[in-house]
Amino acid sequence: MSLPIPSSARPPSLFTLVAITGTGALAMNIFLPSLPDMARHFGVEYGVMQLAVSAFLAVSALLQLLCGPVSDRFGRRPVILGAFAIFVLATIGTLLAPTAGWFLAFRLTQAVVTTGFVLSRAVIRDMVPAERAASMIGYATMGMSLVPMIAPTLGGILDEIFGWRASFVTMGVLGSIVLLLCWFGLGETARGGGVPLRQQIATYPLLARSQRFWGYALAATRSAGAFYAYLGGAPFVGRQILHLSASEVGYWFAAPSVGYALGNFLSARFSTRFGMNRMMLAGAVICTLPLIMALLADLGGTRTPLVFFGSVAFMGLGNGMLLPNANAGMMSVRPELAGTASGLGGAMAVSGGAALAALAASFLHQDRGAAPLLAIMAGVSAGSILCTLWVIWRERRLLGG
């Protein structure tokens, strides 16, 4: 007896979109407070186990590059369902892995869940025009931001009570629930049954030649890159430099999520009124300046959880304002290729984030404090200001202003 399939005309609810993206966020960061303990369990260096973050992001980048065009051709629904089925199986593999090598192999397979980040944005863009898309993406990611706010705290508590595997059990259970939710609640939104791959290939040069697309995409890449660098280095900073317990690291990890939730609210509330570009510029500045101040404080010898995680909270606020608008902007260049544009932009952000996460981990040492990580985060975040100004300048030229 086959399960009923929802009507292709039925749009997904906001709750379904939040669940799709939230599971990807949870899979990315719930286990972070456990990384040092996982390295000891498998008998490897921290840098090896940190590949569960940086290599995960690298595979995510490749998958995001592919899933957009595939979903433009075959539809959003089948791609999302397939991705979550693979994610659940890979999660079981991480729990049974006998060595660090097997664990990392299954962990990298888990990266398929990040398909949800790309396609949830494409689904929104399928349903509404650009300015409303920025607002709706803001609401969706505001709800989703509750997950990374809670996940590291939950992961730290689970680690201290049950051990590191408890975080992966949680991933598997929630992934299974979301798979069922998508089966019954995710209708198809791609127009006309999808764009043939041959037609997509023929129109790629139009997207690639758009300086507006690259401006939006690079602004998002640099802003998100600061956060991914943080993911790669913050567990080390918290445990080895600030001498926090796993649960304490989990509590402090909520800081960027609190800021991100507020930034998403501001995007949802004001993007339509003030425009995407102004919101992006404000977000880029808010993201960058506190990181520079925290870097100067660390170089001056002030190393406290409040200074480090406080600056990251403002980084989250800026990202919450910039990213929904940048994502809506890059998808508005060629609306019929929303999935492709979202996938390419997402791949750029995550691949850059993977490199920055690995770079941050390689420079961190107890004697250096958090300065190397803060310098990387502040530097790439400052680049988002330049990219946003470039987009504004290009649009003014196009309008003859």
Read off the tokens for 99.
Answer: 């060595």
Question: What's the whole-model pTM score?
Answer: 0.67
SS (H, E, C) 290-341: HHHHHHHHHHCCCCCHHHHHHHHHHHHHHHHHHHHHHHHHHHHCCHHHHHHH
Q: Which whole-number Å values give the CA distances from 376 to 56, 63, 233, 358, in the listed order?
A: 20, 25, 10, 11
- pLDDT tens digits along 293-336: 999 998 988 889 999 999 999 999 999 899 888 878 887 777 76
Residues 33/249, Cβ–Cβ less than 8 Å? yes
The closest alpha carbon to 319, from 360, 362, 290, 356, belongs to: 290
Q: What is the pLDDT of residue 4?
A: 44
Distance separating alpha carbons of residues 307 and 223, to the nearest angstrom: 20
User: What's the burial of 96, exposed, middle or buried (CB within 10 Å: 0-12/13-18/19+)?
Assistant: exposed
Residues 338/331, Cβ–Cβ less than 8 Å? yes
Q: Which residue type does 289 have?
A: L
Q: What is the pLDDT of residue 313?
A: 92
Q: What is the pLDDT of residue 190?
A: 66
Q: Which residue type does 268 have?
A: A
Q: What is the pLDDT of residue 101?
A: 93
H or E element that contains 298: helix 276-299
Distance separating alpha carbons of residues 191 and 235, to the nearest angstrom: 43
Read off the tokens for 18.
Answer: 């939040």
Rounded mean pLDDT for each run of 10 residues along the chain, 401 residues in total: 44 78 85 87 85 84 76 81 94 94 95 84 69 64 64 85 92 93 80 58 70 87 84 81 82 81 83 85 94 93 90 92 85 70 72 74 73 90 92 78 51
Rg (alpha carbons) of the chain, rounded to whole number: 20
Read off the tokens for 214.
Answer: 């690259």
Domains and CATH numbers, the chain: 14-399 (1.20.1250.20)
Q: Which whole-number Å values give the CA distances from 374 to 120, 297, 314, in the listed order?
A: 31, 10, 13
The closest alpha carbon to 36, from 249, 226, 228, belongs to: 249
Neighbours of 40 (CB within 10 A): 12
The 3-state DSSP class for residue 2 equals coil
Q: Which residue type does 284 have?
A: A
